[in-house]
Chains A and B, each alone.
Chain A
């Protein structure tokens, strides 16, 4: 089973 990650988990606030 796999979970869909959110994009904000990879890119910080810029």
Chain B
């Protein structure tokens, strides 16, 4: 038996909206410690990982580990039927072929349940090593969204370089070139509006803007995003989901021939 209850459906709605275009389907691995997901995009250029911790839920019960194959487009259709403020409960019997989603309105005068058919998805599980990054940059997620959107109008790839001057995003295309630099800035009173650059050594990497833009679909989840960069390694773009956990996007760099 698996049962997980969240006080606000909005969180799950936003999570699925952030994932569904990048990864059409994937396995929700449930265990007593929470729900996790690892899925690659169809071209195997990026990897999405999701971790939702058991203690971040209002109620969490998982008697045995299960892998639930989910089509995110279909899950999104069901979640559109939930109000943002609804309480949401996910339920499945052991070895079930369906996941039940129950929505309750705040004053409990409306209760609905939807069953989502589960799929059998074979997925290769990748081991992601823990490591120290050359540069870790925390910035407002809306700023990240704006930068990658603005640069997409100029080019297809972006050179991200972190130095003691700041983090610079550069692109070029048929119409010209663009550079946007963000400096370490702890002036704003609100921590959410600050930019923190933690630099161990300068690093510069090139990435496809299309994917970085896609990651920005997670912006509504949280006001800050963290970028982690190391030479010749995938960039990590991380959005924390309150006390519940986080979603991380790993994007392989472009490598000079």
The distance in angstroms between the C-alpha atoms of A11 and B44, with both chains bound, is: 12
A10 CB to nearest B CB, Å: 5
For A8, the chain B residues whose CB sits under 8 A away are 40, 44, 124, 126
For residue B234, CB closer than 8 A to chain A, the reply is yes
Give every chain A residue within 8 A of B127 (Cβ-Cβ).
11-14
CB atoms of A4 and B126 under 8 A apart: no
Interface size in chain B (residues, C-beta < 8 A): 24
Q: Assuming the A-B contacts A2-B157, A4-B45, are A10 and B252 also in contact, with contact meaning beta carbons closer than 8 angstroms in the complex?
A: yes
Name the CB-closest residue of A to B38. Answer: A14
A11 interface neighbour in B47, B251, B256, B257, Cβ under 8 Å: B47
CB B25 to nearest CB in A, in angstroms, measures: 17
Residues from chain A with Cβ under 8 Å of B257 in the complex: 1-3
Distance between B19 CB and nearest chain A CB, rounded to angstroms: 16
Contact partners of B225 in chain A: CB under 8 A: none
Among A1, A2, A5, A11, the residue within 8 A (CB) of B126 is: A11
Say if the beta carbon of B254 comes within 8 Å of chain A.
Answer: yes
Closest chain B residue, CB of each to CB of A11 = B126
Shortest Cβ gap from A5 to chain B (Å): 4
Q: Does B96 count as interface, using CB distance less than 8 angstroms? A: no
CA distance in complex: A4, B45 (Å): 8
| Chain A: CB-nearest residue to B126 | A11
A6 → B minimal CB distance (Å): 5
- A7, B256: Cβ atoms under 8 Å? no
Given contacts A13-B124, A13-B125, contact A7 B254 (CB under 8 A): no
Subset of 5 A-B contacts with CB under 8 Å: A7-B46, A7-B47, A7-B250, A8-B40, A8-B44
Closest 9 CB pairs of A and B: A14-B127, A11-B126, A5-B252, A2-B254, A7-B252, A7-B47, A6-B44, A12-B127, A1-B257
Give the interface of B toward A (CB within 8 A): 40, 44-47, 124-129, 157, 206, 208, 233-234, 250-257
With A5-B45, A8-B124, A11-B234 given, name 6 new contacts (CB 8 A): A4-B208, A5-B253, A6-B252, A7-B250, A7-B252, A14-B126
